[in-house]
Chain A
Amino acid sequence: MQLPFSIETFIRFALYVVGFLAFAIFNAVILGWGERKIMARIQRRIGPKEVGPFGLLQIPADVIKLLAKQFRTPKGGDTMLFLAAPALAIIPALMSFVAIPFAPGLLARDINIGLLMVYAFTTVVILGLLVGGLGSRNKYAIISAARAVSQNVAYEIPMLISVVTVVLITRTMNLTTIVDQQAGAFWHWNMFRFSASPLLPVLFIVYIICMLAETNRTPFDIAEAESELIAGAFTEYSGMGSGLFFLAEYANIVVGCSLAVILFLGGWHDPFGFFPGVWWFAAKLYFLVFFVIWVRWTFPRTQFYSLLNLSWKTLIPLTLGNLLLTGFWIKVFGP
């Protein structure tokens, strides 16, 4: 009998699925712990320290607590949508991991259009918020869902334009190839590739801003503004329902930061061209994650209209102009 794929391929794939699921969940646990520790340092506190060494088992303990809690569906809400929302939030977030190369060979699927695939999935994440808000039959949740959608529409555009600019430079959507092009010391990284466009550092900043908005983090966390909308779309979720949303949030941060590392910061290549490897990827990734946490506990929240103004009046013209400039620059100075 001839199988369409060899048994090794199957085992390899199964291992990757298990591996990346484990990685995503382990990451969420570590980030949950890390966020609380970093936040505590910023706020001159100690943070979790009772459960396990350095409080490392705090998040598993929280997960056990969440699992023990009753998952309650609100009366009069749309139960189908309400139950589907956490899955809609978490599955695309985990699926995005499939195409991300962490090191040479350390990726599940080397897809030719990996970048497109990741963005296709991250766009779906917002559906979880929308559907959860609509299914909750809670006015705060519906306000939050409406906010989340208009925010994401506004920020996906400059984010994608900045990514398209990078694609214009790299001429490929294959994430591994994009990293390979940046081999060597840090002046080879896309962020400093002035031969392609003089404005790439600006583009990187725009990308980071859009990523903060995409992942609903402060200062753009207006969708789950806790002092305004209690918990926004998650208000009615109890137990692991809300736990999954948090898992999805952390997975999204990791995906967003990974893409920033791949597109702008040279992936697994180290700044001085000595020991490229997965550790450099991790170092860059967790530095960006730390930055995201740092921003969250430093800044207050923006108002909704200024957020949209920033996107439509500043970021979109800026990125569009940059796209034109890059095209022009490549045409004139390019190979």
Chain B
Amino acid sequence: MYTKHKEETFVLNLGPQHPATHGVLRIKLTMDGEYIVNAEPVLGYIHRMHEKMAENRTYAQYLPNLSRLDYLGAISFSLAHCLIVEKACGIEVPERATVIRVIMAELNRITSHLLWFGALIVDLGGFTPMLYIFDDREKIIDMMDSITGSRLTFCYLRFGGVSCDIDDTFIAGVRDIVPYMRTRLKMYHALVSRNAILQERLVGIGNITPEMCRSYGASGAVARASGVKHDVRQAEPYSGYERYDFDIPMSTDGDSMARFSVKMEEMEQSLRIIEQAVKNVPAGAYRNGKVPRTLTPAVGDFYQAVETPRGAFGIRMVSDGSNTPYRMKLRSPCLSNLSLLPEVVEGMLLADMLAFMGSLDLVIPEIDR
């Protein structure tokens, strides 16, 4: 497609303030006309030293930090932290709490995917779906708000459980939202997915091979759309995910359209999980009452991965036996997914690159940490 026809190139700074980068990401593009010769993501504009902060905070103090990493999938991120601390300290989690965690994480995944869907279409120049998805997102967030008390950066999970119990209104609300969301997803497919212009903008654009996914460590929908069948929820089940019956949406096309369909299908699967989870929420405590105030895990090296809306998020925690970790390494999915970008966009048109970036579903605070 692209052949370099002249030596004259120029540098185009995409960001840090650009409407399509969804945050303060800067991409230094070397352009030949409208073709991209080279792309170099420049990170660090909202680097907040989250990993270093962990080293001088107690485990409980560090809990709110996790929801500031990925502000769209906060529950999954704090779930990883809770799970690793529970693993290190040997804290039991009541059955009811694990189910509540799954419901919340999946609701959060749907809100995150909805926002990605709206933002991708905005990147492609269609503004209206953005306001439709906010309508649905608002419904889900209102429900989560009634239990957790927050709407975006949830700090709802606690070591050994969750901070508040769910009530019958919430369960009834979740039961209602599942069929509602199914009709809405059907509408989105009719309204957007079959649109000829959308097909033309996404099909065959930004091809990622499975080899590239493996070598860059891409995960989540990006990897699954390229034919790498990996979902932490089934590969290394946590929080009782092995009990739920759900499929991993897959595609082998590897283009932006494949990522689009995989993500849309993931929402359906999340609805399936939620449906099964609310069917019988076990009675009992929502929180382990015997968790000590000061946590001092055993000396050791721990790892815990979870499937966040954007891919596999892992925490490696090295404990020296004190009340703060010796080292906390966060492996965030978007950083790996973004590292694919320079290789993929070479020779691409500017507009296609932005569509491709939209399909990657990047959340910048999580890349910079």
Interface, chain A (partner B; CB < 8 A): 42-45, 139-140, 143, 147, 218-219, 221-222, 225-228, 230, 297-306
Q: Give B360 Cβ to nearest chain A Cβ, in Å.
A: 15
**Which residues in A have their C-beta under 8 angstroms from that of B132?**
43-44
In the complex, 25 of the A-B residue pairs with CB atoms within 8 angstroms, ordered by the A residue number, are A43-B127, A45-B131, A139-B10, A140-B12, A143-B34, A143-B350, A218-B125, A222-B351, A226-B19, A227-B124, A228-B350, A230-B19, A297-B127, A297-B128, A298-B126, A299-B197, A300-B124, A300-B197, A300-B201, A301-B125, A301-B351, A302-B200, A302-B201, A305-B349, A306-B200
CB under 8 Å from chain A, chain B span 117-174: 121-128, 131-132, 135
A300 contacts B121, CB within 8 Å? yes
CB under 8 Å from chain A, chain B span 158-200: 195, 197-198, 200
B354 contacts A300, CB within 8 Å? no
- Closest A residue to B21 using CB positions: A227
- Closest B residue to A222 using CB positions: B351
- Closest A residue to B350 using CB positions: A228
- 4 residue pairs, one from A and one from B, having the closest CB atoms: A301-B125, A300-B126, A300-B124, A43-B131
Determine if B20 is an interface residue (Cβ-Cβ < 8 Å): yes
A300 contacts B195, CB within 8 Å? yes
A228 contacts B354, CB within 8 Å? yes
Residue of B34, B128, B201 near A43 (CB, 8 A) is B128
**Which residues in B have their C-beta under 8 angstroms from that of A45?**
131
Interface, chain B (partner A; CB < 8 A): 10, 12, 18-20, 34, 121-128, 131-132, 135, 195, 197-198, 200-201, 349-352, 354
Q: Give A235 Cβ to nearest chain B Cβ, in Å.
A: 11
**Which residues in B have their C-beta under 8 angstroms from that of A44?**
131-132, 135
Residue of A143, A225, A298, A302 near B128 (CB, 8 A) is A298
**Which residues in B have their C-beta under 8 angstroms from that of A218?**
125-126
20 other A-B residue contacts (CB within 8 Å) besides A139-B10, A140-B12, A218-B126: A42-B128, A44-B131, A44-B132, A227-B354, A228-B20, A228-B350, A230-B18, A299-B125, A299-B195, A300-B126, A300-B195, A300-B197, A300-B198, A301-B125, A301-B201, A301-B351, A302-B200, A303-B201, A303-B349, A303-B352
Q: Give B183 Cβ to nearest chain A Cβ, in Å.
A: 15
Q: Which of A140, A227, A301, A302 has the most CB of B within 10 A?
A: A227
Q: Give A48 Cβ to nearest chain B Cβ, in Å.
A: 15
Q: Give A324 Cβ to nearest chain B Cβ, in Å.
A: 29
**Which residues in A have their C-beta under 8 angstroms from that of B123?**
227
Q: Give A86 Cβ to nearest chain B Cβ, in Å.
A: 23
Q: Bound state CA distance, A222 and B12, in angstroms?
A: 18
**Which residues in B have their C-beta under 8 angstroms from that of A228?**
20, 350-351, 354
Q: Give A304 Cβ to nearest chain B Cβ, in Å.
A: 6
Q: Bound state CA distance, A298 and B10, in angstroms?
A: 35
Q: Bound state CA distance, A218 and B197, in angstroms?
A: 11
**Which residues in A have their C-beta under 8 angstroms from that of B19?**
226-227, 230
**Which residues in B have their C-beta under 8 angstroms from that of A43?**
127-128, 131-132
**Which residues in A have their C-beta under 8 angstroms from that of B354?**
227-228
B34 contacts A304, CB within 8 Å? yes
**Which residues in A have their C-beta under 8 angstroms from that of B198?**
300
**Which residues in B have their C-beta under 8 angstroms from that of A305?**
349
**Which residues in A have their C-beta under 8 angstroms from that of B128?**
42-43, 297-298
Q: Give A43 Cβ to nearest chain B Cβ, in Å.
A: 4
B200 contacts A303, CB within 8 Å? yes
